[in-house]
Chains A and B, each alone.
Chain A
Amino acid sequence: QVQLQESGPGLVKPSQTLSLTCTVSGGSISSGSYYWSWIRQPAGKGLEWIGRIQTSGSINYNPSLKSRVTMSVDTSKNQFSLKLTSVTAADTAVYYCARAGPTPDRFDPWGQGTLVTVSS
């Protein structure tokens, strides 16, 4: 059974870069045509899709975040990553990684989530 786990700093200073990694266990990140995705949720608010990447190299980002987001995948480590530049307090949220497939909006399973706070 595939499981996902987010990791990264819980505190990032304004204007700096948020970096998170999602480690996939219980299966190979290269098997199947899955979309490895990031979703975030500010406290008390709804879900926001950040983007997704496939091991084939195909990438899609949320247009509202596109200028600040970079995603990558490391098949040797069974991991995929998120970088979000020039962060502000508005980027404070719980960040989830999730596997999507066979369609890009079928998210299952999800990681447990990691809280990232943007503050000086």
Chain B
Amino acid sequence: QSVLTQPPSASGTPGQRVTISCSGSSSNIGSNYVYWYQQLPGTAPKLLIYRNNQRPSGVPDRFSGSKSGTSASLAISGLRSEDEADYYCAAWDDSPNGVIFGGGTMLTVL
């Protein structure tokens, strides 16, 4: 059972804006950075957002992250078919020490 809670699925039509939530607690999201990973079908996960809202080079600015208290969100604007993937949030958990992932959200582009 994941300590970070994500909705199992999300969907949108091309061009739309979708958000994916990630809920945690004071020992993880509340006191540490949040990271987001994108996993395209059949591939390894890829870093999408780091330190709550920073994009690695090469990640389009359509992707944005935010954090408030013990929750975080990933927003994707101008949805495209190639955004169809699983998205995972992650954070360090102080108790017990270790990295925890959300259960993942499968994004479908209708």
Contact = CB atoms under 8 A, between A and B. Distances in A.
Nearest to B43: A112
Contact of B101 (A46, A103, A108, A112): A46
Contacts of B37: 47, 107
Given A48-B101, A49-B100, A63-B96, A108 B47 contact: yes
B74 to A, nearest CB: 15
Interface in B47-96: 47, 50-51, 56, 88, 90-92, 96
B35 A111 contact: no
Contacts of B88: 46-47
A63 B94 CA distance: 12
Interface of chain B: mostly helix, strand, loop or mixed: strand
Contacts of B96: 63
Interface residues of B, number: 26
A112 B44 contact: yes
Nearest to B99: A49
B104 A47 contact: yes
Interface size class of chain A, counting residues whose CB lies under 8 Å from the partner chain = 20 to 34
Of B2, B44, B97, B104, which is in contact with the most chain A CB atoms at under 10 Å from its CB? B44
A59 to B, nearest CB: 11
Of B33, B37, B88, B99, which is in contact with the most chain A CB atoms at under 10 Å from its CB? B99
Contacts of A61: 98
Given A63-B98, A105-B92, A46 B44 contact: no
A14 interface: no
A26 B92 CA distance: 28
Interface of A: 37, 46-49, 52, 60-63, 96, 103-108, 110-113
